[in-house]
Amino acid sequence: MHGRTYYLTTLDAWQRNTARFASSHFAHADPGASSSAPPGTIMIVAFVEADEGVHNALAADPEWESLPHPLTNKSVSPRVAAALAAHGVATGANTFDVAEAISRAHPILRYRVY
C-alpha cells in the first residue's frame, strides 16, 4: 500500500532516492537561492508517494525530516519553519499550513484527500 508524506530534505538526497518512489514532487525551500549552489546544500520540500518500506527507510535517514500528517494539528519543527520562511511559513505552522504556502509556488503540492 502506498502512502503520501511531506519531507524537508536536500535536492541531492531527493535525487539519490527518486527511483524508489511511486511519484514525487518538490519545491525549493528558498526560491531565491542560487541555482548554482551544490545540490547537497539546496533545501527542498518533497511530497513523496511510496510504499511503507520506502517511508520507513526515509524516516531512518538523517537527511530526511518527515512532516506530521497534514490533518493533525501538530506543528512542524522550528527547522522546517525556518527553512520555509521565504514561503511565509511561520513558527507554529502545521503541515497543512506548509502545504498551502508551498502550493502558491507549486500547486500540485497542495494537500488533497483522494
Q: For residue 31, what pLDDT band results from cuts at 50, 70 and 90? A: confident
Q: Residue 1 has what pLDDT?
A: 60
Cβ partners under 8 Å of residue 55, min gap 6: 3, 5, 48, 66
Q: Where are the alpha helices (DSSP H) in the chain?
A: 11-17, 52-60, 78-83, 95-103
Query: What does the mean pLDDT of the chain come to?
Result: 93
Beta bridge partners of 94: 75
Domain locations in the chain? Answer: 2-109
Q: What mean pLDDT do residues 86-112 have?
A: 94
Q: What is the pTM of this model?
A: 0.91
Cα angle at 53 between 10 and 81, to 5 degrees? 35
25 vs 91: CA distance, rounded Å = 24
Q: How confident is the model over 6-27, as pLDDT tens digits?
A: 999 999 999 999 999 999 999 9
The separation between CA 2 and the C-alpha centre of its own chain, rounded to angstroms, equals 17
Q: For residue 34, what pLDDT band results from cuts at 50, 70 and 90? A: confident
Q: What mean pLDDT do residues 44-59 have?
A: 96
Q: Which of 40, 35, 41, 32 is nearest to 16 (CA)?
A: 40
Q: Residue 32 has what pLDDT?
A: 82
